[in-house]
Structure 1
Amino acid sequence: MSGSLSITSAFPDPALLDLPWDLPLESWPTDTIAALPKGISRHLVRFAHLGGFVVAIKETTDEMASGEYDLLRALQRLEIPCVDPVAVISNRSDDEGNPLKPVLVTRHLRFSLPYRALFSQTLRPDTATRLVDALAVLLVRLHIVGFFWGDVSLSNTLFRRDAGAFAAYLVDAETGKLYDGGLSNGQRENDLEIARVNIAGELLDLEAGGRVSDGLDPIGISNGIVDAYRNLWQELTGSESFSTTERWRINERVNRLNDLGFDIEELAIKTDESGTTVRIQPKVVDAGHHQRRLLRLTGLDTGENQARRLLNDLDSYRAAYDKADLDEEMVAHEWLMRVFEPVVRAIPVDLRGKLEPAEVFHQLLEHRWFMAQQAGHDVPLAEAVASYVANVLRHRRDEATMIDPPTGAITAAMPVIETSAIAVVDPDDEGDWRLKV
């Protein structure tokens, strides 16, 4: 490296010094570059290997790189889904002393993909709608903490599969700004209009390229983010009035928010002067209701919809084996050992980059249900695992971006297990819930 390189990072990685910062990003050698799908960007962005993971490197200005780095760190502290900021690299120069552009380095989100990589041939209407719905949830969460995005689009978002839906993560914050006092209605409406126009343009672009299926309405789907956003915003922040004889509606509102994946940290309850009408309004809502419960019970860190699905299976396990009166954490540990982990271990090593473990488990439950429908009776879990691996998972493309991660999914250090070696054991008369490999 030439000159005095400047690295700004809260968690500096010595491996950063090994990257060729003395070369323009477009000239980096192929052995450094990770070939991953990427979205459309106004700046040059490339992926590179850094130790045991992959980073995205974006050439920009020093001011914009530093500003975006600080914003991403602030959003992380607020637990907003976004990419991890790694470093800002400035004072770059080539071997002849010519200055090179500063860069922002972010960690690539494992198992995430830009929207264009989520469909192999043509984009179907239901897939497009799920992407827009996920983006609406992200936008609401950003606005609740006072973040104005300024460039809302599918291209500036990464998506991860989340039990039949998608979870959206902010990947580009260079136009954003965080306001301590929250956003005005005008700022929120501005962001929402930007989202509607950008999404329409992105889908129309796909349509012009012949990459959408018949029946997909780009304008209708882009308008859908407006309805999805406003419905969720009203549910999370809107006030509600009712008679004092209908106090049950307080619990109903809380339950509705929980079903949407949000917890209420504070609920304002007021009565009118006559004492006959009650008005409630959630002051602060915290996303990740099911994620937190699953993490507390099992230690599994998953998407919100994945957590909901895994918790449903855990509840079914408790009911099926008459364990409802036992300690919830003890039953959760038993379910983890007897159901979830054996399934994950049964996935051959060469297929573990296809999907993250929680998504595999969700899809397995779906596959088992379809098998049972076709057979007309319950299908043992071991049989469903073998069928899912052979007929579904093996034919999926890889969505992981790391090889041998130092820390990561529960499967990282597990031995190779062939599905043909799976057998059902029933030492405690617990049917196919236990697997032996």
Structure 2
Amino acid sequence: MALQISATNPEHPALLLALPWHLPLEEWPDEYLVPLPRGISRHVVRYARAGDEVIAVKELAERPALREYELLRDLDRLGIPAVDPLAVVTGRAGQDGDPLEPVLITRHLRGSQPYRSMFETTMRPATMHRLMDALAVLLVRLHLAGFAWGDCSLSNTLFRRDAGAYAAYLVDAETGDLHPRLSGGQREYDLDLARVNISGELLDLEASGALHPSVDPVEFGMEICARYGDLWQELTRTSVYPAGKYHYIERRIRRLNELGFDVAEMQIQHSSNGDTVTFVPKVVDAGHHQRQLLRLTGLDAEENQARRLLNDLESWMATQDDYAPGDPLAARPEVLAHRWVRDVFRPTVRAVPLELRGAMDPAEIYHELLEHRWYLSERAQHDIGLDTAVEDYIENVLPKARETLEPVTPE
């Protein structure tokens, strides 16, 4: 069979043809590879460069490769945080003519880390709690979309910094299934697998001496269940309010927005005697602040980053002479937002030298600068201003962290 490349982008096959498909993946020369941390996988996985992109290449049988490729494309259409599928390569053969396994190619998620590389230095329990939060949010989003993961674990997840917290991305969809809706049993099965897998992974870390001594692997495995349950209950529970108290419904919707979710569809029903109103959020979409930031500024960020940037944008708009909410003659929010991007956000980020940014994307850099501004202002007992914070951050913070930052890869 001749070499075949099935790709989402017509430009990718030409870039991928330059890679040594006649060699087993574990024998690829270093000149093609990118030295990035890899998680544990049942398959051979390597990071390579294709043109200006860094890609993850995974060897597996043809049928599961094609199936995972389509599932990842489905998750992308649903807006679920997962690695971006680029191509499947089949018809590979070695120099002796013997067939080689096909490969699935995904785009490297810049700035992300597998959990094991995050434990190279002992991770504090508070940080581990944030990882569990991120994984619980990911699992809830998958289940709301009707996706049964079938193998939820730390190993099958990538984590990326998100304004002091973490965002979790699905990296392995091989065991997954997409349904119109999941039953309670399907969700519980996924959750039970997550508990067992996470406890086992943390026990491995404990045995290697990489786990904080105060962390109980079994308790942390249970934590994913508790955090998932609280979030699922908040997103799906039925609320009954007194008739006429419609601000209760608005308060519930606002609470969901604060958690990062939009109510896209709802059901409101009056009782037979008219005394109460039943409210059920029927469709809940994640990414409330992401969508709001993207609409206003065109910036694409993680949810917590977007929330932080929106807060800074609102504070900045309040200082502008032409900001007058409700005045039809005042500048529209979109106009002010684009001015903020042009005059504040971009110049601030560009002030940070590229070689010092490491794996941080622009939104994370801006968040770090806002945090540093707050810290210096608290110490000085007055607002020191963003420009001063940027100078101090570049001079005193980034050089110390430079050695631990991931090398810059072309975007």
Range class of TM-score, shorter chain: over 0.9
Residue identity (%): 56
**Structure 1, 292-301 or 329-338: larger mean CA deviation:** 329-338
Residue of structure 1 equivalent to 2:9 = 11
Residue of structure 2 equivalent to 1:174 = 174
Structure 2 CA distance for aligned equivalents of residues 221 and 31 of structure 1: 41
Kept in 1, the 8 Å contact 2:119–2:210? The answer is no
Residue of structure 1 equivalent to 2:203 = 204
**Structure 1, 6-15 or 360-369: larger mean CA deviation:** 6-15
Residue of structure 2 equivalent to 1:420 = none
The reply to whether residue 399 of structure 1 matches residue 406 of structure 2 is yes
Residue of structure 2 equivalent to 1:434 = none
Structure 2 CA distance for aligned equivalents of residues 90 and 46 of structure 1: 17
Residue of structure 1 equivalent to 2:232 = 233
Kept in 2, the 8 Å contact 1:111–1:401? The answer is no
Distance change (3 Å), C-alpha of 1:119 and 1:334: farther
Residue of structure 2 equivalent to 1:411 = none
**Structure 1, 81-90 or 390-399: larger mean CA deviation:** 390-399
Residue of structure 2 equivalent to 1:338 = 343
1:177 maps to a residue whose letter is D
> 1:308: Cα distance to partner?
0.3
Residue of structure 2 equivalent to 1:360 = 365
Residue of structure 1 equivalent to 2:278 = 279
Structure 2 CA distance for aligned equivalents of residues 315 and 191 of structure 1: 40
> 1:119: Cα distance to partner?
4.5
The reply to whether residue 348 of structure 1 matches residue 353 of structure 2 is yes
CA deviations on 1:101-141 (whole Å, 9 max, x unpaired) are 11111111111111122344112101111111101000001
> 1:394: Cα distance to partner?
2.5
Residue of structure 2 equivalent to 1:412 = none
Q: Superposition pairs for residues 65-214 of structure 1, below 5 Å?
A: 65-180=65-180, 182-214=181-213
Kept in 2, the 8 Å contact 1:318–1:324? The answer is no
Residue of structure 2 equivalent to 1:249 = 248
> 1:76: Cα distance to partner?
0.6
CA deviations on 1:43-91 (whole Å, 9 max, x unpaired) are 1111111110111111111111011001001111111111111111111
Distance change (3 Å), C-alpha of 1:306 and 1:69: same
CA deviations on 1:270-289 (whole Å, 9 max, x unpaired) are 01111111101011111111
> 1:320: Cα distance to partner?
3.6
**Structure 1, 391-400 or 33-42: larger mean CA deviation:** 391-400
2:257 maps to a residue whose letter is N
Residue of structure 1 equivalent to 2:218 = 219
Kept in 2, the 8 Å contact 1:114–1:159? The answer is yes
What TM-score do the two structures reach when normalised by structure 1? 0.89
**Structure 1, 187-196 or 240-249: larger mean CA deviation:** 240-249
**Structure 1, 262-271 or 237-246: larger mean CA deviation:** 237-246
Residue of structure 2 equivalent to 1:414 = none
Kept in 2, the 8 Å contact 1:354–1:393? The answer is no
Structure 2 CA distance for aligned equivalents of residues 280 and 125 of structure 1: 38
2:240 maps to a residue whose letter is S
Residue of structure 2 equivalent to 1:296 = 295
Residue of structure 1 equivalent to 2:264 = 265
> 1:349: Cα distance to partner?
2.4
Structure 1 CA distance for aligned equivalents of residues 338 and 120 of structure 2: 38
Kept in 1, the 8 Å contact 2:357–2:408? The answer is no
The reply to whether residue 374 of structure 1 matches residue 393 of structure 2 is no
Structure 2 CA distance for aligned equivalents of residues 354 and 58 of structure 1: 23
Kept in 2, the 8 Å contact 1:265–1:286? The answer is yes
Kept in 1, the 8 Å contact 2:270–2:278? The answer is yes
Question: Gapped runs of 5+ residues in structure 1?
Answer: 406-437
Structure 2 CA distance for aligned equivalents of residues 401 and 16 of structure 1: 21
Structure 1 CA distance for aligned equivalents of residues 320 and 70 of structure 2: 50
Kept in 2, the 8 Å contact 1:53–1:401? The answer is no
> 1:95: Cα distance to partner?
1.4
What TM-score do the two structures reach when normalised by structure 2? 0.95
Query: Alignment partner of 1:392: what SS?
Result: helix
CA deviations on 1:295-340 (whole Å, 9 max, x unpaired) are 1111110000000000001111123446343421122122222221
> 1:4: Cα distance to partner?
1.0
2:297 maps to a residue whose letter is T
**Structure 1, 391-400 or 9-18: larger mean CA deviation:** 391-400
1:255 maps to a residue whose letter is R
Kept in 2, the 8 Å contact 1:269–1:281? The answer is yes
Kept in 1, the 8 Å contact 2:110–2:359? The answer is no
**Structure 1, 281-290 or 244-253: larger mean CA deviation:** 244-253
Distance change (3 Å), C-alpha of 1:115 and 1:401: farther
Kept in 2, the 8 Å contact 1:54–1:401? The answer is no
Q: Superposition pairs for residues 400-419 of structure 1, below 5 Å?
A: 402-403=409-410, 405=411
1:280 maps to a residue whose letter is F
Distance change (3 Å), C-alpha of 1:172 and 1:354: closer
Aligned residues: 401
Question: Gapped runs of 5+ residues in structure 2?
Answer: none
> 1:385: Cα distance to partner?
0.3
> 1:384: Cα distance to partner?
0.6
Structure 2 CA distance for aligned equivalents of residues 388 and 354 of structure 1: 16
2:170 maps to a residue whose letter is L
2:344 maps to a residue whose letter is V
Kept in 1, the 8 Å contact 2:119–2:211? The answer is no
Query: Alignment partner of 2:318: what SS?
Result: helix
Structure 2 CA distance for aligned equivalents of residues 335 and 247 of structure 1: 35
